[in-house]
Amino acid sequence: MKEQFNYIPKKDFLQTMNISRWTFTEWVNNHKLPIIRIGYRTFIPFTEYKEWEKKYHQNIPQQRDNDFEWKNIF
């Protein structure tokens, strides 16, 4: 049976999540985002990332301004 490595390259992760390198470093240092370094390259293990995502995922509803009024066009 062939074992498949399921790692996300750092560059692809940054583009997918639409975050900067600074935010990525903050997630790794402060929120313990799992990473693996192979040589000078950084990868995120997909299965460990999914577990991390469940821990830090927040569903924040958008807030509505109740003061909004439509202008009458007639």
Residues 15-36: pLDDT tens digits? 998 999 999 999 999 989 999 9
* pTM of the complete model beyond 0.85: no
Question: Which 3 state secondary structure label does DSSP give 9?
Answer: strand
Element (H, E) at 41: strand 41-45
> Given this model, what pLDDT does residue 43 score?
94
Distance CA 37, CA 72 (A): 60
Query: If we measure between CA atoms, which residue out of 59, 70, 67, 49 comes closest to residue 6?
Result: 49
Q: How confident is the model at residue 66 (pLDDT cuts 50, 70, 90)?
A: low
At residue 46, what are phi and psi to the nearest 5 degrees? -60, -45
